[in-house]
Amino acid sequence: MKQVELYAKVRYAVQIEGLSERAAARRFGIDPRTVAKMLAFSVPPGYRRTKPPARPKLDAFIAIIDRILAEDKGRPKKQQHTAKRIFERLRDEHGFAGGITIVKDYVAGWRQRAREMFVPLMHSPGHAQADFGEAIGIIGGAERKIHFFAFDLPHSDACFVVAYPAETTEAFCDGHVQAFTFFGGVPKSILYDNTKIAVARILGDGKRQRTQTFSELQSHYLFDDRFGRPGKGNDKGKVEGLVGYARRNFLVPIPVFDSFEALNAHLRACCRKRMSERLRGHTETIGERLERDLAALRKPLPPPYDACEKVATRVSSLSLVRYRRNDYSVPTSFGHREVIVRGYVHEVVIACGAEVIARHPRSYEREDFVFDPLHYLALIEQKINALDQAAPLADWKLPDEFTTLRRLLEMRMGKKGKREFVQVLRLMETFRIEDVTAAVGDAIARGAVGFDAIKHLVLCRIERRPPRLNMTVYPYLPTVTVATTSARAYMDLLVGAAS
């Protein structure tokens, strides 16, 4: 290709000096047709194709390739044809005799032409987008997957991010509650993907059938919902970008925290710090643009939504309730009854009617058993032989005073001592373990080892009054009678020993 400088010299000689094209060709040693081209173009125009390239080996198979690529559009991305697989099918099924390179070039060009284009959008104040993202973190000393809820206000690019152990219904609801609290208002509308947490079913006309929990959340806060096209994350590009930004900036290096509460305090601080930044294409900071978003939010906030998943189920014969593949205990008096399980992010609450009968820390393991030993003590008191094999008591770490108490009770009363020990444990159904432990230690020190004495000592401790252990009031307490020493009895012992 001729240099631009030569173009300038030839054009100057012909158009300014008045040389003919043939004379200019002789002066510069080039073809007259080249001179004509230089006069037509001020700079080298590059290669110009006058007709489509001839592909004699491929042209007969282009319709087949186009059909394969068009059918792939409706199939999972990981099961679409590669250029190599298309070549193999053309060769094996249709007798293609060409090479793989021309097939690869055609497929690459087809896919480039088929790539989707987008229209730049503007976002008015008061609208939001929400989505979940994933990252790795170390929580409580263990490496685990973190699922974080990302909430973006596209007009200002202000964000809120909160992390959870799993992407669940209760985390989805709690994320909304915390985001609304963080910004102090409710957006006019929120854009989502078609998550199963919110969308139970996509109907034939494109309308969405909402889940029960999402409908309750929406009714509580009164925001409009919008949903992107299935499989099209670019419909909510702002929050998709926020997910990547938060992962790269808020969670790098890999976060190390003692608890999710500490991690979320860090994430809130990162969101506030970002408000001072000015993004490309804007003259105002995120915080300055946020003022318009906040003015458009609906205020004041209603009372916080009860962010939980509600499941109706039945208590098993083992006094267990199953929720999300894990079993949680309830008092044995509620066996075989219908209950409602409320699954929160960090807690599971079980109610029978209007009465809350059990609370447990939430487990995110699989096939886990979460016991409260107190739930089984009433039944173990009746079935005392199960005391040593009761699974709910196996990992119950009690103070050493209780081990001493059981040994003394069983030494004095045998099997009945086991039952009395369980009765002492049942005091913790009503009183704090600290008070019961102190009473057990006091009873052992006084030599009054029994349920009645320990209960009396617990009540005295709570009521702040001195104990009065009257043996006539507590007839089951051990008593010792010391007789006066008799010389005759001593002599009888000596005579018996001599004989």
Q: What is the mean pLDDT of residues 40-62?
A: 83
What pLDDT, on a 0 to 100 scale, did the predictor assign at position 56? 87
- Could you report the per-residue pLDDT of 156-206, keeping only the tens digit for each? 999 999 999 999 999 999 999 999 999 999 999 999 998 999 999 888 777
127-296 fold: Nucleotidyltransferase; domain 5 (3.30.420)
Name the least confident of 236-240, 241-245, 296-300, 386-390.
Answer: 236-240
Q: Which of 35, 264, 90, 300 is nearest to 185 (CA)?
A: 300
Q: How large a percentage of the chain has pLDDT more than 90?
A: 76
pLDDT of residue 207: 85
User: For 53-90, how does the pLDDT look when each residue is reduced to its tens digit (9 = 90+)?
Assistant: 778 889 899 999 999 999 998 888 889 999 999 999 99
State how far the Cα of 25 lies from the Cα of 4, in Å rounded to an integer: 16
pLDDT tens-digit profile of 435-473?
999 999 999 988 888 899 999 999 999 998 888 765 555
Q: Average pLDDT of the chain?
A: 90
Percent of the chain with pLDDT over 70: 92
Residue 48 pLDDT greater than 80, yes or no: no
Higher-confidence residue: 381 or 485? 381
> What was the pLDDT predicted at 483?
54
**DSSP symbols for 276-339:** T---TT-SS-HHHHHHHHHHHSB-SPPSPP---EEEEEE--TTSEEEETTEEEE--GGGTT-EE
Helix (H, G, I), strand (E, B) or coil at 151: strand
Query: What is the distance, to the nearest Å, from the Cα of residue 46 to the centroid of all Cα atoms in its chain?
Result: 56
Which residue's entry shows tokens 């962010």? Answer: 307
Three-state DSSP class for residue 163: strand
Which strands sit side by side in the sheet containing 326-329, from one edge to the other? Answer: 320-323, 326-329, 369-370
Weakest mean pLDDT among 143-157, 366-380, 443-457, 464-478: 464-478
The reported pLDDT for the residue numbered 389 is: 94
Q: What angle do CA 335, 341, 343 make, to 5 degrees?
A: 145
Global pTM exceeds 0.85: no
**Can you give the pLDDT at residue 234?**
58
- On the question of a cis peptide bond just before residue 253, with omega within 30 degrees of 0, the verdict is yes
Instruction: Answer whether residue 484 shows pLDDT above 60.
Output: no
Assigned token pair, 202: 């996509």
Tens digit of each residue's pLDDT (9 = 90 or more) over 270-320: 999 999 999 988 999 999 999 999 999 999 999 999 999 999 999 999 999
Residue 482 banded pLDDT, cuts 50, 70, 90: very low
Question: Considering all CA atoms of the chain, what is the largest pairwise distance in Å, rounded to the nearest integer?
Answer: 160
How far separated are the first and last CA of the chain, in Å rounded?
138
Give the number of residues written for the chain. 499
What pLDDT is attached to residue 485? Answer: 57
E-assigned strand segments in 300-444:
309-314, 320-323, 326-329, 338-343, 347-352, 355-361, 369-370
* Tens-digit pLDDT profile for residues 4-25: 889 899 999 999 999 999 999 9
